[in-house]
Structures are given as C-alpha cells and as structure tokens.
A and B are shown apart, each in its own frame.
Chain A
Amino acid sequence: EIVLTQSPGTLSLSPGERATLSCRASQSVSSSYLAWYQQKPGQAPRLLIYGASSRATGIPDRFSGSGSGTDFTLTISRLEPEDFAVYYCQQYGSSPNTFGGGTKVEIK
C-alpha cells in the first residue's frame, strides 16, 4: 500500500502568515489522485482539495494544492483564525485508500 508521510507534524504560525504543508508518498500517486482534508476538534473532516489542485465547492481561494508523483503541497496563503486545525492528505488512486498522519496548524 502507498504510505503517505506528512510534514511537519505541527506548524506554529500567526494569523495572516503563509502555511506550507507537505505530503510525500512512498510511490507515485496515479493520476494525481490526491486530496486534502481539514478537521477541527469534534468535527468530521472536510474536503478542501481533490485531484491534487482542484478546490472543492465553497473552499476559499487562499487554499491551494500542488504537486504530482510523490510530492504534494497544500498552501494556505494567509491564515485566518478559522484555519487552525489538523490537515490530512489522502491518496485514492490505489487500493487501499490511505491517509497521511496529519499536520496540526496551531496558533503561535
């Protein structure tokens, strides 16, 4: 199965700063079938990005995804207070679907 490694584990930033989250795959993710999700405490995950770079419906344009092959990035251009949460990447190109371990974006 494809193992996804997210880094860093925790990112401490201030509102207004730029956040760059990394997701590295143990083998190439076919057709860039990679998604990003945001999860806040006590809530279900929410889809942000699919197909590595396509924003889901209703997602602000400060969220952007990039990458291909084994290296993918989620960028939040300017952190808003509501963006402090845990972010997960997921590959859905190969069975089984797998998730990364998550990156927590916390307020500095």
Chain B
Amino acid sequence: QVQLVQSGAEVKKPGASVKVSCKASGYTFTSYGISWVRQAPGQGLEWMGWISAYNGNTNYAQKLQGRVTMTTDTSTSTAYMELRSLRSDDTAVYYCARGGVLSGSYWFDPWGQGTLVTVSS
C-alpha cells in the first residue's frame, strides 16, 4: 500500500536547524511530488511548500523563504525538509504528503504520520 513514514520526534534549541525525513513506499516515487504541512499545537494546518520528486522543482511558502529547504533522494525514495534558525513558534507537528509531480496544484494523499518538532531553550 502507498505509505509515507517520517522520522522521529526532535527537540531543538532556538537558532538550531532540523531535518525531517519522509520515506515513500508502494508507488513510483518520481511520478509524484511531496508537500510539507505543519500544525502548531491546537491549531490548523499550514502549507510549507512542495517539491517535485521528478525534477526537484520547489515552491516554498513566502513566510518560510530563506529558512526552509526541501530535497529528495530518488535512490531511497525519501524526501527531506530542513528548517533553519528555529524559533519557538516553529514548534509543531510536521507532515509530509504525496502531491502533484509538476506543480503544487494537487490534493494531498496519503499523509505521513507526522513528526513533532519542539523548539525550546
């Protein structure tokens, strides 16, 4: 079955970086893209950006430009999201989700199980 499995929870200090992985299985990785969505505690969903697993094209949310980098490793069918200069308001559950291959204009299905990133001094 189509599945996305994410890396485990992280605790980081303000100013540090975090890199979350998302390993895909059950489908041809390069035929889709991966979007990243985060959810702060008790809050709604926030789209962070998208990467094509076919050609590596990316589209990031404007508010995260300069702090976020999304990459893929097609040899292992794994997507990565790195967020730098972490602040306390980056504390959230981070989800990866399968999306479109040529653009971010696609629905998200399925989703990874989520990775809790806690930023605290």
A residues neighboring B (CB under 8 Å) = 33, 35, 37, 44-47, 50-51, 56, 88, 90, 92-102
Contacts and interface: CB of A to CB of B under 8 A. Distances in A.
Contacts of A92: 99, 104-107
Interface string B76-116: 00000000000000000001000100001111111111100
Interface of B: 35, 37, 44-47, 50, 59, 61-62, 95, 99, 104-114
A95 B45 contact: no
Given A37-B108, A47-B109, 4 more contacts: A92-B107, A93-B105, A95-B104, A96-B47
B107 A44 contact: no
Given A92-B106, A96-B61, A97-B35, A45 B95 contact: yes
B47 A47 contact: no
A99 B44 contact: yes
A96 B114 CA distance: 21
A14 to B, nearest CB: 26
B36 to A, nearest CB: 11
B107 A50 contact: yes
Given A95-B104, A102-B44, A44 B95 contact: yes
Contacts of B109: 47, 50, 56
Contacts of B114: 44
A37 B106 CA distance: 13
Contacts of B104: 92, 95-97
Contacts of B47: 96-99
A102 B99 CA distance: 21
A90 B61 contact: no
A90 B107 contact: yes
Specify which of A45, A50, A94 lies most central, judged by the most chain B CB atoms within 10 Å of its CB. A45
Nearest to A92: B105
Contacts of B99: 92
Contact of A47 (B44, B105, B110): B110
Given A95-B59, A96-B62, A47 B107 contact: yes
A57 B107 CA distance: 13
Contacts of A96: 47, 59, 61-62, 104
